[in-house]
Structure formats: structure tokens, C-alpha cells
Chains A and B, each alone.
Chain A
Amino acid sequence: MKVRLLKEEYLKSDNLFDDFCNNLIEGDIDHFSEDEYILPELRPFPFYLAYKDADQLEKSFMEAFKIIKEDYIKIDREITMSQQFWHSLLLVNFRDYVIEEHPAVTTNKNRFKNIVIKSFDWENYIYKCLLAVEYAVDNLPEVEHDLFYSAVINNLDLYNYLIKYTVTRNDKFIINVLKIVERNNLSTLMKSQIKDRPDLGKDERYGRRVIFEFNKDYPVVLSPMMDIDDMESLLLNHLSKYKS
């Protein structure tokens, strides 16, 4: 499958939205750079996962994880970590799928920006899913993958916070934190707001504060390299500072 990369300034093009709606990107050489990738056949997958309904959320995440693992995970990171690649794929190769799943992107420019050309960082669902699959494949035996994926979905607020910062955006650390949270049944507590500490700020949650504590101690305490049991007692200790 050939993925032609849009030219570097594609996000600044005034016609991007109109040309996408009118299916004019693919035929217009002005939109493209000289670079292209020849890759094995790639299937589209749920790439915008802002679902309120828990079942729908889980189903869509799981489908994304499955297809990423089967089709994308072996591709060089130089490609899969590139915003230009994903936007080219969504705007050109997967245009029909994108419109079928999210019809609003052709009528509402803001929806288009938010869904199709969303920045490729920790807030982007493709980025979130890609890291999760990579971490599972690199670190866990096959039988544990689904358990890890469920832990990600159950603890999305915490996972988002973990992948937001460079210190904690680390495979082994994230896997261990989520395992500890799951085996201690802390999921609900970690995502709930800290109510009795107005000094901490508006939307502080137990999970975020615990990660903040790990962050604060780095690199004096090299927590990402810890064994899970040592990390567990440290995590529970951090948590106890906020639980009155």
C-alpha cells in the first residue's frame, strides 16, 4: 500500500478542509511532498475515541488495539510517530472511512480539526493506542495483553497523565503503575477528585497527585527502574499523603 506524504506545510493550506470535503486532495499534486512510503496493507481503525458510553469506549479501544497490533506495530517508529504520516493516511487513504465514521467532519470545520487533523501528542487517540500496544508487545507475554489493555481503558485519566510527561512516558513504569492500581482495586479512587484539599488546585485527582510525587522525586529515586513490589509500597505511601 502506498502512503504519499502531504507536503510539510499541509496544515497551513487554506484549501485543506474544502479539498478534503470535495475529495480534491488525492488528485492535486500541490498537496503532496515528494516522499512516499510503500507499506503492507493497512486497515483503518477507530481513531477518535471520545465516547461517553463505557461499553462503546471499551469496544472501540479494543478494536483499535487489535488492528494496530496486527497491521502497524512492526512499522518503523520514524513512520508511526510522525504526525504527517497519520494525517496523510486519514486525509487521503482512509478518507471514506473517516467520513463514514464521523460525518460531521465534512460539515463542521472545528470537528474536522479536532477529529482528523488532531495534533499527534498525548491527547491524540492514535498516539495513546499506539504506545499502549507497543508497551504490551515489547514487555508482556501474549496472554497478558488484554489485561493490560483493560487496565489502560479502566484508568484512562491516569494513563493520560502518565503519557503526558517525559519522565513517566516509559513502558515499564506505566505497566507497573497500572498493574499496582488494578491489583489493589484503586482504579475508582485514583480517578476521583481530591475534595478536601483546596490548596492543590481545581481538578486534582488522587492518581495524578501520586504520579506527580514520583515525578518530583526523579531522578533522586529512579522509580521507573524499580521492581514492582518496591514501587507498590512507594505508590501506596505517596497515596497515603493525600488520603485523609
Chain B
Amino acid sequence: MIFDKESTFPHPILSKFTDDYEDKTFILKVGVQDGGNHYAFKIEYKLDSKFIINALNKNQANLYLLVQSKDSKFYKLENKNDQILPISKNSISLNKRTSFQLVIMTTEILSFKSNKDLHKFYLKERENIYIDKFGVLAISNVEKFNGDLKKPYELFEKKVDSNIKSEIKIEFGSETIIIVYRDIEYQYNKHRRKNSLNNHYVYIGLQRALLRFLRSNNEKDQEEIYINGIDEPADKLDLKLLNLMKVKGVLLLNYENVDEVIAKISDKIISKHYYAIEETFNESKIA
């Protein structure tokens, strides 16, 4: 139920991904304390739109906290800052990734006639804007408890297992791509550039992981994924890949562009491998 993707809306909304308001500050901060059989969440927020604050004060709108862990829950909050919300531990788990977000929803049809906080683009239009009952007015940032990602930046692990039925095997751990070698020799450990020499395995590993990502995260059996338009995957390896792709500016993933995506999210895997081979080859010639 957490909403965190780029989208267009039929009416002006205060959020970080829309430009409908001059000042789009709506920031949520969540603190947590363990209260034995419950968690006590401390909810603080900063909202600068006088129009929306006024709507809350006049009960023309309500403030809700959305909590998403295994499922989605919402809690209607008092219209005041710094409140403590206790949630029983049999209703929420924090060891898994849990996200929080605030939304403000109208309780009646609301005219934007007196909404002076809107972007000047709407100046002439605003008296014609009405928001339906149960319409969204504002969406905050998402606050996350990421406590269970053990190694947020490590994507690969290496293992040796003499019992595998192939010389090399790509496996997926709970949050890593595991390269399993039948023989430790295949890791090139004797060579100075051993990491780069392993890059062909890294390439295959990334390719397999991205294809798996594509299979498990496409909605409605589409053959492609718009990176900024999908829900956060529950799988931790997929989450790492998603974050990586976002940071590296990947917009689209499909079966045709997997190689391009690898080029973007990694750092010259193949050319480094090439130079490592060249160097090793030359060293052996000199020796």
C-alpha cells in the first residue's frame, strides 16, 4: 500500500514526485522503541502547506500512517505532531523490511479555490479544482527499517564445492549471487589480478540474477520492467539489484537489453578481464 513510484495524477498532489505545490515539504520521521509485547512508534512529520494543515484542522481531511511489512495496515492519526503509536508485535514484524508512509485523505468534497500553496501554474485554474471524498491530498516520503540486510553492498559470494555436477555453478543466496567452483584452482588465486580474472563468472552471475529479477518482478506477465515503476521486491537480492539499477540510472530492463544493463551497473567487467588476461599472459612469457 506504500506508494513510491513515479506516476501522474488527475489532480494536484503534494509529494516529492509531483511539482503541484510551490513547497513540497511533507517529511515523515519514525522512531521505534521496543515495549515488550508491542513496538512504540514515534511519529514526527513536517508539512508546510497551510491549506492542507487547515483542512486537517477543520476535519475536511484525515492523516493516516501506512505500514507495510508482510501486509499493509493503516492507522488514522491524531492531527498533532510527535505522537506515539503502539502496535502489538503479533500485528507487525520489524525484522523483515518494514516501510512507513503518511497520506492525507479528504473526508468530503474539497474545493481548491483558496489553496494558495499550489504551484503558480494552477493560479487561474484552482477555483475549478475539486477533490472528491477519499481523494489523496498529500503523500510523504517512505521511511524504512532495513535492519535485516546483512551486507547491503555485497552482491557476490564465492564457494568451493567438489560435489557439484558441473565445473561451475551459479546459485542465489538470501541476498547474494553465489559462484560455486568445483575446484579452487578455477578461482585463479595464484595470480595477482585474481579478482578481474574471475570476471567472466561475475558476468554470468549478473546475467542470471537479472533474468531471474525479470521473471519474478514483472507484473501481469509483461516482458519488461520499468525500474522506477515497480513495487519493492521482497527478495533481498532483487532489492539490492533494484537499488543498484536506480542509482546507475537504468530505466528499463528486458530480455534484449540485459547486456546493456550489466554494462551500466558494473564497472567495465570485460575490459578489466581482458587486461588481466593480457598481463598474466605476458608475465608467463617473460618467465
A interface, CB within 8 angstroms of B: 8-9, 12, 73-78, 80-81, 131, 134, 138, 163, 166-167, 169-172, 218-226, 230
Contacts of B76 in A (CB 8 A): 225
A8–B94 Cα gap in the complex (Å)? 19
B54 part of interface (Cβ distance < 8 Å): no
B interface, CB within 8 angstroms of A: 1-3, 9-11, 62, 64, 68-74, 76, 89-96, 103, 105, 132-136, 139, 171, 173-174, 231
Given contacts A166-B1, A224-B1, contact A171 B10 (CB under 8 A): no
The SS class assigned to the B binding surface is: loop
A131–B91 Cα gap in the complex (Å)? 10
Contacts of A9 in B (CB 8 A): 173
Please state if A166 and B89 are interface contacts (CB–CB under 8 Å).
Answer: no
8 A-B contacts (beta carbon < 8 Å): A78-B95, A134-B90, A138-B91, A170-B73, A219-B3, A219-B139, A220-B10, A224-B74
A78–B145 Cα gap in the complex (Å)? 14
Please state if B74 and A78 are interface contacts (CB–CB under 8 Å).
Answer: no
Please state if A167 and B134 are interface contacts (CB–CB under 8 Å).
Answer: no
Contacts of A222 in B (CB 8 A): 64, 103, 105, 134-136
Contacts of B139 in A (CB 8 A): 219
Top-10 shortest CB links A-B: A77-B93, A76-B89, A78-B93, A169-B71, A170-B72, A81-B70, A222-B105, A219-B3, A219-B136, A78-B95
Please state if B1 and A220 are interface contacts (CB–CB under 8 Å).
Answer: no
Given contacts A77-B70, A166-B2, A166-B68, contact A220 B135 (CB under 8 A): yes
Contacts of A76 in B (CB 8 A): 89-90, 93
Known contacts A219-B103, A225-B74; 10 further A-B pairs (Cβ under 8 A): A77-B69, A78-B89, A131-B71, A138-B91, A166-B1, A166-B71, A170-B73, A170-B74, A171-B73, A220-B9
Given contacts A219-B103, A219-B139, contact A77 B74 (CB under 8 A): no
A218–B7 Cα gap in the complex (Å)? 11
B104 — nearest CB in chain A belongs to which residue?
A: A222
Please state if A230 and B133 are interface contacts (CB–CB under 8 Å).
Answer: yes
Contacts of B89 in A (CB 8 A): 76-78
Given contacts A77-B70, A219-B136, A220-B11, contact A170 B1 (CB under 8 A): yes
A223 — nearest CB in chain B belongs to which residue?
A: B134
Please state if B1 and A77 are interface contacts (CB–CB under 8 Å).
Answer: no
Please state if B74 and A172 are interface contacts (CB–CB under 8 Å).
Answer: yes
Residue among A8, A78, A171 having the largest count of chain B Cβ atoms under 10 Å: A78
Please state if A166 and B74 are interface contacts (CB–CB under 8 Å).
Answer: no
Please state if B91 and A167 are interface contacts (CB–CB under 8 Å).
Answer: no
**Residue from B72, B92, B136, B171 within 8 A of A77 (CB atoms):** B92
A137–B56 Cα gap in the complex (Å)? 31
CB distance from A42 to the nearest CB of B (A): 14
Please state if B90 and A74 are interface contacts (CB–CB under 8 Å).
Answer: yes
Contacts of A131 in B (CB 8 A): 71
Please state if B135 and A134 are interface contacts (CB–CB under 8 Å).
Answer: no
CB distance from A166 to the nearest CB of B (A): 6
A220–B15 Cα gap in the complex (Å)? 12
Please state if A225 and B90 are interface contacts (CB–CB under 8 Å).
Answer: no
CB distance from A108 to the nearest CB of B (A): 23
**Residue from A77, A220, A225 within 8 A of B64 (CB atoms):** A225
Contacts of B103 in A (CB 8 A): 219, 222
CB distance from B59 to the nearest CB of A (A): 14
Residue among A171, A218, A219 having the largest count of chain B Cβ atoms under 10 Å: A219
Contacts of A172 in B (CB 8 A): 74
A170 — nearest CB in chain B belongs to which residue?
A: B72
CB distance from A132 to the nearest CB of B (A): 12
Contacts of B1 in A (CB 8 A): 166-167, 169-170, 218, 224
B2 — nearest CB in chain A belongs to which residue?
A: A166
